[in-house]
């Protein structure tokens, strides 16, 4: 198996993309990948201009995914793209991922993994059949102190988990939602492009994923109430969900894109019978450890008291803040280990199982709310 840099292709992530630079910078961290080509824009001219700006070989800048697969597959194995990152709107994730997997490419995909849970299950089967690596970029799992939280819970530091509370609040859609013409122009509110859900499909599923990632527990049932705010708006922009976990744990997931003034406020608290842990993305280098009758402790990355997993995920000296790029970089690093057949830690990168779980969660939330707040199984 090759030990050189992993040859990376992108679909999407061109000049006007927010997420494109996050993926490119993450891939360059650790020097495990080399971006060699892709389909950066639906406009081939714009795609070519973008490739020229990045000083890439424009002969490997393709007009569509079919051309990419055909021409890259014709190259010798030591030259062709090995892994493709899918950075497109939601409705393209499943067909593109399926096409790439069948052609033998490893895949890194933005979430949600698909538009339907049944499609996610189909992808899971395809990945197993073709033996490729699949990474779903639940970026927040890459933060060192989230990984520290996961380790501490697994080691029993806070005892038996008994309560979880996750929140993801944004306010970005508030300026558009109250104007019918404006909200009709937002692709995330268009079921044909966004899928079944806006708020829970976009951000609520991150909160759900963080709960299962940090605790190692599986949510079994949900009781949800979601809000579209206007009758003619087809997708949710806000919601509250009660959750039940088999081990007797109860919790709540709140998600909103109409929380006026909020920017990107995702946070999680996990309480056990010996203590609690709290983390929020807007202050990512602080992990708060709560103990009964004792002062709260603040743990920070890069210090010798952190776990091996957290320390391996820390790139700079203590006191220097690490953020979204670093978190995504850790996920790319874990994926690189899997692609190269190296040993990697449990939780090094989110996989197709996380995608299947996420889609089943979204559908259960929507069904619960639609049925008048009934408990639904995941």
Domains and CATH numbers, the chain: 6-139 (3.40.50.720), 141-316+350-377 (3.30.360.10)
Each residue's pLDDT tens digit, 338-351: 999 999 999 999 99
Mean pLDDT within 220-234 = 97
Whether the pLDDT of residue 251 is over 70: the answer is: yes
What are the CB-based long-range contacts (under 8 Å, 24+) for 274-279?
Answer: 274/156, 274/157, 274/158, 274/159, 274/160, 275/157, 275/158, 275/159, 276/158, 277/149, 277/152, 277/153, 277/157, 277/158, 277/214, 279/143, 279/145, 279/146, 279/149
Alpha carbon distance 177, 350 (integer Å): 32
Q: Which residues contact 293 (CB under 8 A, 6 or more apart)?
A: none
% of the chain surpassing 70 pLDDT:
99
179 CB-contact burial (10 Å; exposed 0-12 / middle 13-18 / buried 19+): exposed
| Range list of H helices, the chain | 19-28, 44-53, 65-73, 93-102, 117-130, 144-154, 174-177, 180-183, 191-194, 199, 205-215, 308-312, 324-339, 352-370
What integer is the mean pLDDT of 137-150?
98
pLDDT band at 3 (very low <50, low <70, confident <90, very high): confident
* Percent of the chain clearing pLDDT 90 (strictly above): 97
**Position 1 pLDDT exceeds 70:** no
Which tops the pLDDT comparison, 1 or 148? 148
**Residue 138 CB: number of other CB atoms within 10 A?**
25
Chain mean pLDDT for the chain: 96
Can you say whether residue 339 is alpha, beta or left, with left for phi > 0 and alpha for psi between -120 and 50 degrees?
alpha
Give the pLDDT band of residue 246 (cuts 50, 70, 90).
confident
pLDDT at res. 80:
97
Mean pLDDT, residues 182-202 taken together? 94
Per the confidence metrics, is the pTM higher than 0.85? Answer: yes
The pLDDT confidence band at residue 247, using thresholds 50, 70 and 90, is confident
2 pLDDT more than 70? no
């Amino acid at each position: 198996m090759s030990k050189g840099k992993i040859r990376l292709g992108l679909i999407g992530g061109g000049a006007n993309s927010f997420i494109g630079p996050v993926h490119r910078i993450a891939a360059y961290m650790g020097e495990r990948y080399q971006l060699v080509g892709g389909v950066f824009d639906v406009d081939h001219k714009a795609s070519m201009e973008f490739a020229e700006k990045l000083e890439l070989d424009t002969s490997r800048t393709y007009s569509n995914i079919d051309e990419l697969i055909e021409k890259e597959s014709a190259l010798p194995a030591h030259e062709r793209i090995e892994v493709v990152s899918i950075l497109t709107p939601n409705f393209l994730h499943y067909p593109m991922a399926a096409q790439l997997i069948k052609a033998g490419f490893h895949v890194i995909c933005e979430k949600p993994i698909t538009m339907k849970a049944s499609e996610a299950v189909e992808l899971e089967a395809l990945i197993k059949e073709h033996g490729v690596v699949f990474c779903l970029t639940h970026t927040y799992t890459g933060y060192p102190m989230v990984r520290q939280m996961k380790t501490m819970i697994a080691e029993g530091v806070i005892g038996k988990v008994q309560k979880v509370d996750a929140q993801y609040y944004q306010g970005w859609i508030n300026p558009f939602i109250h104007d019918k013409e404006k909200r009709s122009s937002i692709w995330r509110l268009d079921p044909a492009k966004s899928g079944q859900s806006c708020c829970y499909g976009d951000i609520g599923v991150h909160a759900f994923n963080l709960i299962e990632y940090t605790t190692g527990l599986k949510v079994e049932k949900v009781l949800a109430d979601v809000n579209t705010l206007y009758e003619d708006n087809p997708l949710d922009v806000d919601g509250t969900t009660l959750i039940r976990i088999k081990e007797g744990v109860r919790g709540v997931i709140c998600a909103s894109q109409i929380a006026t003034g909020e920017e990107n406020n995702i946070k999680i608290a996990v309480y056990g019978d010996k203590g609690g842990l709290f983390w929020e993305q807007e202050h990512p280098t602080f992990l708060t450890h709560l103990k009964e009758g004792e002062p709260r402790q603040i743990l920070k990355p890069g210090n010798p008291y952190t776990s091996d997993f957290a320390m391996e995920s820390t790139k700079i000296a203590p006191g220097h803040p690490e953020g979204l790029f670093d978190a995504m970089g850790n996920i790319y690093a874990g994926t690189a280990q899997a692609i190269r057949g190296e040993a990697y830690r449990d939780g090094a990168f989110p996989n197709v199982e996380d995608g299947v779980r996420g889609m089943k969660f979204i559908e259960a939330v929507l069904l619960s709310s639609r049925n008048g707040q009934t408990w639904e199984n995941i």
